[in-house]
Amino acid sequence: MNKLGSRQPVTRGKMCEHAHVRPADLRKKKPDESAQEMSRIVMDSGTGKCYCRGKVLGKGGFAKCYEFTDLATGKMFAAKIIPHSRVSKPHQREKIDREIELHRGLHHKHVVHFYHHFEDKDNIYILLEYCSRRSLAHILKARKVLTEPEVRYYLRQIVSGLKYLHEQEILHRDLKLGNFFINEAVELKIGDFGLAAKLEPIESRRRTICGTPNYLSPEVLNKQGHGCESDVWALGCVMYTMLLGRPPFETTNLKETYRCIRDAYYTMPSSLSPPAKNLIGSMLSKSPEDRPPLDSILRHDFFSQGLTPERLPSSCCHTAPDLHHTSPAKNFFRKAAAALFGGKKDKAKYFEALNKLTKEEEEIHRLRHEMRKTSISSQNEDIKALAPPTVKPAGVPVKDGTNKQQIRDTIRMIVRGTLGSCSSSSECLEDGTMGSVADTVARVLRGCLENMLEADSIAKESLYSSFQWVTKWVDYSNKYGFGYQLSDHTVGVLFNNGTHMSLLADRKTVHYYAELGQCTVFATGEPPEQFVGQVTILKYFAHYMEENLMDGGDLPNISDACKPRLYLLQWLKSDRALMMLFNDGTFQVNFYHDHTKIILCSQASEYLLTYINEDRVSTTISLSTLLVSGCSGDLRSRMEYAFNMLLQRCN
């Protein structure tokens, strides 16, 4: 989550990364307005949009940063809120205006995106990209130190974003771990441009001392002005801090810290690798002209002689990732390469393994060919009629005795989610616990993703979509809970205390779930005394969604006679999508940027997948059809993202 570093004046004592030095005209303390009550719902009078203010993400000298949710779309932002009383003087307001003007023009993958700004009578609001995994400072606090592959991964992204800023003739002037934000996909974004400035000619450069003391360069301390080299110096401090868990010039005394910086005096522990020592040493050169340009940093031996992961798992935010794990195929070829340079015995083993691999690949291709030839309609009929026999999981080569029936049975087991511990998917779903439902859905998605063929588009299949799905939703979990409306107009709220309440489409009946599967039914107008408050909130959610939100697609409504009672078990929001999991295994993921949706549901021993595209047009297809016909890479990537969200919520 985005966090604004503290902007308080520096005091003596042990130096902290978040302390700042600011120009003298900005150092005067202002009264603390934090006690003032701020409205939870904020409206932008210019656009008419309403936002719900959530929890505090960070605090600064002039501003606080909050979670902000667009009530119409559910999109989340990090909102920097600056009270007018904090910028009452002209030079203070000019500084905020400069920050807005500078940041709004920046567009880069590794720079926090600026969305919008507006103001009311009390505050200025700056809406920024929401980064759900907070910052590198938070990761380092949990991890203490990072591994070299992780440092290479993050440094590559920092250099990419910083190079873009310098090409725009912008100096950040406050690079530190707390200003590197991490999004849901563990991608780094440079943020907080409160001290950023335009690059000036040498003779006109700013000579004020501002930034974070542990990261200040000698030329800034000596008031020789800021240049691109000052950002490179800070980058050297960042690299040192990630590898060792502390800044290079940290001492218990500010005066001593400044002396060490001016002399470029710091220690290089033996735990650092020689390439890491060399790169840090070059970036922390006392003379600015001796520091490497950004392009040459990425060509350094530190990067060329070590592993740089393409992606990092979310677990790296709190534990060291296992980056040395290799797939069976990679292990095979690694051993094969070693065998080619070994003795006769090694070579014999290599060719034996090669022949075995070739036969297995042929079997896989033959199996896929048989699957393509099998009639989709006959598969659907067989799937309904057959009980699951004992077969090997799909994707595992089987002997020549394999027939079409076994292939169809294998597909059936995948789409029913029965390749795990449960004897049937319905058995797991009837259990009704969050874990069992989530496990079943995850098993189905995993089986589909691991066995689905590639295709250019999704197959056309006419299926009756007799299931419920979420057409509207609103996140008010900062106060009450998460609300949604189903396609049959039932409104549900999963309250913050874990209970659930549904207002049926007739608006006369309420279903209350204190525990999973245990339902209490009562009339809307006569709720038991202990439920009066929750019923009032439920009605509020229903009224708000009816009056303010649009439906989410073109799927037909299900009749009240044939629908089961659906209620929400779990939900999760990322910076890209919203995930919702229901008691009957219905699993829905809404993607914010293009309003596409994926809905997975179980019907008559079969799983159906519905995809609602950008034009709000839906396609419903059985997973057995999807397995043999495949789908586009675009839909597959959405399915993979949905699967990862589900795993994250389960863990």
Q: Distance between CA 531 and CA 359 in Å, rounded? A: 66
Q: Residue 346: is its pLDDT beyond 80?
A: no
Give tens-digit pLDDT for 553-592: 545 444 443 344 789 998 999 889 999 999 888 999 999 9
- Band of the pLDDT at 167, cuts 50, 70, 90? very high
Q: Distance between CA 438 and CA 572 in Å, rounded? A: 13
User: Among 253, 578, 626, which residue's Cα sits nearest to residue 449?
Assistant: 626
Q: Which residue has the higher pLDDT, 647 or 70?
A: 70
- Retrieve residue 272's tokens: 């650092």
The pLDDT score that the predictor gives to residue 244 is 95
Q: What is the mean pLDDT of residues 587-616?
A: 87
Q: Which residue has the higher pLDDT, 442 or 327?
A: 442
- Band of the pLDDT at 456, cuts 50, 70, 90? confident
The pLDDT score that the predictor gives to residue 91 is 86
- Band of the pLDDT at 352, cuts 50, 70, 90? low
Q: Residue 265: is its pLDDT beyond 90?
A: yes
> Side-chain half-sphere of 405: how many Cα atoms within 13 Å?
7
591 contact partners, CB below 8 Å, separation of at least 6: 576, 577, 597, 638
Residues tagged in the binding site annotation for ATP: 80
Q: Which residue has the higher pLDDT, 523 or 59?
A: 523
Q: Residue 181 CA to chain centroid, in angstroms?
A: 11
**Is 32 annotated as catalytic?**
no
Q: What is the mean pLDDT of residues 4-15?
A: 36
The pLDDT score that the predictor gives to residue 345 is 53
Give tens-digit pLDDT for 65-91: 999 999 999 999 999 999 998 888 888
Least confident of 46-50, 342-346, 360-364, 509-513: 360-364
Give tens-digit pLDDT for 484-531: 999 889 999 999 888 899 999 889 999 998 765 578 899 998 899 889
The pLDDT score that the predictor gives to residue 358 is 43
The pLDDT score that the predictor gives to residue 366 is 46
Q: Residue 282: is its pLDDT beyond 90?
A: yes
- Retrieve residue 388's tokens: 């699951």
Superfamily classification of domain 136-314: Transferase(Phosphotransferase) domain 1 (1.10.510.10)
51 contact partners, CB below 8 Å, separation of at least 6: 41, 42, 43, 44, 68, 69, 70, 71, 77, 79
Q: Residue 189: is its pLDDT beyond 90?
A: yes
Least confident of 140-144, 169-173, 194-198, 644-648: 644-648
The residue assigned the tokens 């522990």 is: 269
Extents of the domains making up the chain: 24-129, 136-314, 326-373, 470-650
Containing 571, the helix (H) or strand (E) segment is strand 568-573
Average pLDDT across the chain, whole number: 77
- Band of the pLDDT at 607, cuts 50, 70, 90? confident
Class of the CATH domain delimited by 470-650: alpha beta
User: Among 469, 417, 415, 411, which residue's Cα sits nearest to residue 439?
Assistant: 417
Residues tagged in the binding site annotation: 80
Residue type at position 318:
H
Q: Residue 479: is its pLDDT beyond 90?
A: no
- Band of the pLDDT at 96, cuts 50, 70, 90? very high
Q: Which residue has the higher pLDDT, 425 or 540?
A: 540
Q: 33-37, 254-258, 587-591: which has the highest mean pLDDT?
A: 587-591
CATH topology of domain 24-129: Phosphorylase Kinase; domain 1 (3.30.200)
Least confident of 236-245, 274-283, 326-335: 326-335
Q: Residue 173: is its pLDDT beyond 70?
A: yes
Q: CA angle 290-294-296, nearest 5°?
A: 75
The one catalytic residue in 25, 122, 174, 192 is 174
- Band of the pLDDT at 409, cuts 50, 70, 90? low
Q: Which residue has the higher pLDDT, 255 or 202?
A: 255
Q: Residue 460: is its pLDDT beyond 80?
A: no
